[in-house]
Amino acid sequence: MSLIKDFTKGIYRENPVFRLVLGMCPFLAVTTSVENALGMGAAATFVLICSNFLVSLFRNIIPSKVRIPCYIVIIATFVTLVDMVMNAYLPDLHRSLGIFIPLIVVNCIILGRAEGFANRHPVLNSIADAVGMGIGFTLAMVILASFRELLGNGTLLNINVLGSAYQNQPLLIAILAPGAFILLSFILGFFNILEKRKGGRQ
Amino acid sequence: MADMLKIGLVLMLVALIAAVALGFVNSRTAPMIAIQKELAKQNAMTEVAAGLSPGDSLAFDSLSVTSLENPYASCDNTLNIVRVSVPPDTSRIGYVFIAFGKGYSSTVQTMVAVEIEGVISNTMILYQQETPGLGANIVNPAKLISKFNGLIASQCLLSKDGGGIDAMTGCTITSRTVTNSIRTGLEAMSEAGLFDSGDTEGGMQ
Amino acid sequence: MAQTRRFELAMSPHVGANQTTRKIMFDVVIALLPALAAATWFFGPRALLIVFLSAATAVVAEFLCLKFMKRPVSFALDGSAIVTGMLLAYNLPSGVPIWLPVIGTAFAIVVGKQAFGGLGHNIVNPALLGRAFLMASFPILMTAGWAAPEAWNSSEDISWGTSGIAMEEMSTIPMADAISGATPLNVLKQTFDLDASAANARNEGNTTEAQSLEERADGIRSALSCNSTYMNLLIGRSGGCLGETSVILLLVGAIYLVMRGVLELRLPVSYLGTVAVLAWVFGGSGWFNGDPLFHVLAGGVILGGIFMVSDMVTTPVTPKGRIIFGIGAGLLTMVIRRWGGYPEGCSYSILLMNLVTPLIDKLTLPRVFGEVKKNG
């Protein structure tokens, strides 16, 4: 039962982006298209699962004084692995994600889950937590990326949705940096209203 | 003291395992990455040089030219020229080079295929990180770079700078950098004697 | 969350003033009308349509926001929304499609104003934010296709074009075609490009090319700085945004505002003064040979100086702070004009200074009477 709970909380109740407001750098930077968001989400989820698994497995061995350097080494290793494998087998995606793959190392979601969850919970729960958080992160990125790609380019997953007339004159700001911040604020505001309504009923 | 030793050992162990894992994966992926890069470059060259001799399969050999000036020093790059031929015949039918130019927000790389007389056959943007929706439209050949086809070095000049090429609307900087990078590359090649309608393959090994 | 009516409480002493938001805002609207007349004369009835659509959208967007936030909807008619809508429209080229002012104004009101809490709480000028939004979203629509003044009711060739340069001067410029369709500041920017190309050519040892480029740049510059050009800029016979071209009618509006006690002169004077001085210092081809008159008359600094630099909400309240604000905005305007990517820097300079307004206020806060200066 607690396994399911650990898994589901990351998707909405403790969504890393919308509720914990973590991992903003990749969230704002790579959400210019749904494809990028999915790739980044998959890579981050993979790293998150691996690091949560190892951190939880060795939680009684790693001395608490040096736990942060250990976590960083573990995370950095997996990020580098993902970077190399992606470069070798998915060069196009690797090119478009660019600098943001190495930056997964400093994505606060991953270190945050290692420090805040995996180092005091059993392996299975930690993996469930990682999968939930990863899906929550990916979902959040896909939501923002859908708006940005649709408004800024008229497409979804590179498929023309709004027609070529729109594509000639799209709302460019949506795929530029300011558009990410503006849309994020709208989404956060929407979730806050939702939460408030819920609170009012209880 | 014993505590310190333990901490040090654990850290060392973690780092060691990480290093071994990374080394192993690197040894597997490094050749693959090299192949992918080479493949991407080959594909780009084949595509851009197709017009030099339509329908034939092409061979590319990199060329080292002694008296070649480097027009791309300000972009921390060098002018590397590739000689194109149609095997089994080894005589050149043209060249391919990459032009580098500092654009609005990135160094734009343009691959240029040029005939032996110095006439541009085709161009293609290899890399750019210009403003989406504006300068980034440079990848669409119809916007600017298709206008280079059939031109020689001195004709590669924007109309704003006294030439005959109209810049993309709203992005003079990107248009100018691409145009000028191609022109300076061609000029350097011409000065090194690479363009010659005669049969001397000037300056090449 | 129903709004309850509360008594306004404030510490004494109180000064009774006959000013209300509504009165001030309608004074501003009246002051904007002469420039609207000029826009209609030079750019046609379409200008009127764009301004009307923009103002109407502003009121509707304000109304919807207030409704959504369950605040008194009567605020939508206090005039501030109309001013925002009109100012945004004044910052658009006349040839924009009619949906452009609508979404620009909606953004200005919803994100620039109401999201921060409505009038008095917005940190930047909503109209300028709307313009920045449109510039980022539709750069081509916002910077190309300047209409020649009076082209709409004239079947013949428009002799003065968009650059504000008179025809007889045009004929003295080598390759004048290259500057057709450009606003006066665009033309000036081109002379800086020509200077750079000339310097390049000189470095490469190509003296003849460098000389011809320099000649062209100097020819354009002298055409920009002649009396007939000044006259065109003064009455508004040049290409540009709807409300910015007619300097003389904008000044009529300014005089009205000063007479009504709405416009306080520190901000516009320090702003325009800084622009003029810096125009002389580095607004020309070299140092200390720029043309201050041209820089003040061309582009949007008069419109910005009268109606945006002096916005009550987003500029400092202290007298000293206002002068600092004006100087800062003037400096940024001239830096963008001379070295930036855009020909005109008026709107971005004011937006940037809006952001530091709280800091300026804090730095220039006068001492409370009787307070001892620390470490004094």
* Tens-level pLDDT at each residue, chain B (205 residues): 788 888 889 899 999 999 999 999 999 999 999 998 888 888 888 888 888 888 788 888 888 877 788 888 888 888 888 888 888 888 888 899 999 998 888 899 999 999 988 899 999 998 888 877 678 888 888 888 999 999 988 889 887 777 788 888 778 888 989 999 999 999 888 888 888 754 444 444 3
A172: which DSSP letter?
G
Both tokens of residue B42? Answer: 């080959």
**Nearest to A180, CA basis, from A42, A55, A26, A8:** A26
Both tokens of residue C83? Answer: 């001013």
Cβ separation C193–B160 shorter than 8 A: yes
Of the residues A168, A172, A197, the best mutation for testing chain C's interface (the one with the most C CB atoms within 10 Å of its CB) is A172
User: What was the pLDDT predicted at C34?
Assistant: 95
**Per-residue confidence at C152, pLDDT binned at 50, 70, 90?**
confident
> Mind listing the pLDDT tens digit for each residue in A43-63?
899 999 999 999 999 888 888
User: What was the pLDDT predicted at B198?
Assistant: 44
pLDDT > 80? residue A152: yes
Cβ separation C136–A182 shorter than 8 A: no
Q: State the nearest Cα–Cα gap between C139 and chain B, in angstroms.
A: 7
Both tokens of residue C40? Answer: 């209609």
Q: Could you tell me the residue ranges of all domains in chain A? A: 2-201
User: What was the pLDDT predicted at C189?
Assistant: 85
B131 touches A: beta carbon within 8 Å: yes
pLDDT > 80? residue A202: no
Cβ separation B18–A91 shorter than 8 A: no
C348 touches A: beta carbon within 8 Å: no
Q: Which of A94-98, A146-150, B80-84 has the highest mean pLDDT?
A: A146-150
User: What was the pLDDT predicted at C1?
Assistant: 40
Q: Could you tell me the residue ranges of all domains in chain B? A: 1-205
Cβ separation A169–C111 shorter than 8 A: no
CB C79 within 8 A of CB C26: yes
d(CA B60, CA B119): 18
CB C329 within 8 A of CB C349: yes
C175 touches B: beta carbon within 8 Å: yes
* Residues facing residue B127 across a β-bridge: B109
B9 touches A: beta carbon within 8 Å: no
Q: State the nearest Cα–Cα gap between C137 and chain A, in angstroms.
A: 4
Q: State the nearest Cα–Cα gap between C134 and chain B, in angstroms.
A: 13
The distance from CA C243 to its chain's CA centroid, rounded to whole angstroms, is 9
Q: What is the mean pLDDT of residues C144-160?
A: 69
**Per-residue confidence at C157, pLDDT binned at 50, 70, 90?**
low
B166 touches C: beta carbon within 8 Å: no
> Mind listing the pLDDT tens digit for each residue in C136-146?
888 888 887 68
pLDDT > 90? residue C102: yes
B chain contacts of residue C140, beta-carbon cutoff 8 Å:
134, 169-170
pTM to 2 decimal places = 0.83
Q: For residue C142, what are the CA distances in angstroms to A185, C95, C134? A: 26, 9, 7
> Mind listing the pLDDT tens digit for each residue in C256-312?
999 998 898 999 999 999 999 999 999 888 889 889 999 999 989 999 999 999 888
User: What was the pLDDT predicted at C9?
Assistant: 57
Cβ separation C139–B134 shorter than 8 A: yes
**Nearest to C157, CA basis, from C167, C145, C144:** C167
**What does the mean pLDDT of chain C come to?**
87
- Residue of chain A whose alpha carbon sits nearest to that of C140: A169
**Nearest to B139, CA basis, from B127, B125, B129:** B125
The distance from CA C322 to its chain's CA centroid, rounded to whole angstroms, is 17
Both tokens of residue C7? Answer: 């008594």
Kindly list the partner chains of chain B, i.e. chains with 3 or more CB atom pairs below 8 Å.
A, C
CA B99, B103, B108, B114 dihedral sign is: negative
What's chain C look like in SS3?
CCCCCCCCCCCCCCCCCCCCHHHHHHHHHHHHHHHHHHHHHHHCHHHHHHHHHHHHHHHHHHHHHHHHCCCCHHHHHCCHHHHHHHHHHHCCECCCCCHHHHHHHHHHHHHHHHHHCCCCCCCCCHHHHHHHHHHHHCHHHHHCCCCCCCHHHCCCCCCCCCCCCCHHHHCCCCCHHHHCCCCHHHHHHHHHHHHHHHHHHHHCCCHHHHHHHHHHHHHHHHHHCCHHHHHHHHHCCCCCECCCCCHHHHHHHHHHHHHCCCCCCHHHHHHHHHHHHHHHHHCCCCCCCCCHHHHHHCCCHHHHHHHHCCCCCCCCCCHHHHHHHHHHHHHHHHHHHHHCCCCCCHHHHHHHHHHHHHHHHHHCCCCCCCCCCCCC
pLDDT > 50? residue C2: no
> Mind listing the pLDDT tens digit for each residue in C113-131?
999 988 889 999 999 999 9
Cβ separation C139–A172 shorter than 8 A: yes
Scanning C113-132 for CB atoms below 8 A from A yields 115
Both tokens of residue B149? Answer: 């086809």
Selecting from C140, C144, C190 the residue whose C-beta is nearest the C-beta of B160 gives C190
User: What was the pLDDT predicted at B167?
Assistant: 85
Rg (CA), chain A: 18
Prediction ipTM score:
0.84
Selecting from A63, A73, A153 the residue whose C-beta is nearest the C-beta of B15 gives A73
Q: What is the mean pLDDT of residues C348-370?
A: 90
- Residue of chain B whose alpha carbon sits nearest to that of C190: B160
Selecting from C103, C115, C136 the residue whose C-beta is nearest the C-beta of A172 gives C136
Both tokens of residue C8? Answer: 């306004």
Q: To which residue do tokens 């320099």 refer?
A: C214
Q: What is the mean pLDDT of residues A58-69?
A: 87
Residue C374's contacts (CB-CB under 8 Å, 6 or more residues apart) are none
Both tokens of residue A136? Answer: 């929550």
Q: For residue B70, what are the CA distances in angstroms to B62, B81, B99, B189, C242? A: 16, 11, 11, 10, 48
Query: What count of other Cβ atoms lies within 10 Å of the Cβ of residue B183?
Result: 23
**Nearest to B113, CA basis, from B52, B71, B64, B199:** B52
Query: What count of other Cβ atoms lies within 10 Å of the Cβ of residue C331?
Result: 18
- Residue of chain C whose alpha carbon sits nearest to that of A174: C137
B51: which DSSP letter?
G
CB B68 within 8 A of CB B190: no
pLDDT > 70? residue A19: yes
User: What was the pLDDT predicted at C327?
Assistant: 96
pLDDT > 60? residue A172: yes
C136 touches A: beta carbon within 8 Å: yes
C270 touches B: beta carbon within 8 Å: no
Q: To which residue do tokens 């990410």 refer?
A: A180
Q: For residue B196, what are the CA distances in angstroms to B52, B92, B190, B192? A: 16, 11, 8, 10
- The DSSP bridge pattern shows strands B59-63 and B92-102 to be unpaired
CB C139 within 8 A of CB B134: yes
- The DSSP bridge pattern shows strands B92-102 and B120-127 to be unpaired
pLDDT > 90? residue C156: no
* Residues facing residue B115 across a β-bridge: B94
Q: For residue A25, what are the CA distances in angstroms to A10, A21, A149? A: 19, 11, 18
User: What was the pLDDT predicted at B202?
Assistant: 42
C chain contacts of residue A176, beta-carbon cutoff 8 Å:
136
B chain contacts of residue A63, beta-carbon cutoff 8 Å:
3, 6-7, 10
- Residue of chain C whose alpha carbon sits nearest to that of B180: C197
Both tokens of residue C255? Answer: 């005089």
Q: What is the largest CA-CA distance in chain B?
A: 81
| Percentage of chain A lying above the pLDDT 70 cut | 98
Beta strands in chain B (DSSP E): 59-63, 81-85, 92-102, 107-115, 120-127
Q: To which residue do tokens 């005089």 refer?
A: C255
Q: What is the mean pLDDT of residues A92-110?
A: 81
Query: Residue C264 class from Cβ within 10 Å (0-12 exposed, 13-18 middle, 19+ buried)?
Result: middle
Cβ separation B169–C140 shorter than 8 A: yes
C137 touches A: beta carbon within 8 Å: yes
B79 touches C: beta carbon within 8 Å: no
Cβ separation C139–B162 shorter than 8 A: no
CB B107 within 8 A of CB B180: no
The C-alpha angle C130, A177, C146, rounded to 5 degrees, equals 45
- Residue of chain A whose alpha carbon sits nearest to that of C107: A182
User: What was the pLDDT predicted at C76?
Assistant: 82
User: What was the pLDDT predicted at C302?
Assistant: 95
Q: State the nearest Cα–Cα gap between C140 and chain B, in angstroms.
A: 6
User: What was the pLDDT predicted at C366?
Assistant: 80
**Per-residue confidence at C362, pLDDT binned at 50, 70, 90?**
very high
Q: State the nearest Cα–Cα gap between A180 and chain B, in angstroms.
A: 14
**Nearest to C316, CA basis, from C269, C365, C274, C352:** C365
C139 touches B: beta carbon within 8 Å: yes
A chain contacts of residue C141, beta-carbon cutoff 8 Å:
169
Q: Say how many CA atoms lie within 13 Å of C186 toward its Cβ.
A: 22
Cβ separation B159–C178 shorter than 8 A: yes
User: What was the pLDDT predicted at A64?
Assistant: 85
Top pLDDT among B143 and C15 is at B143
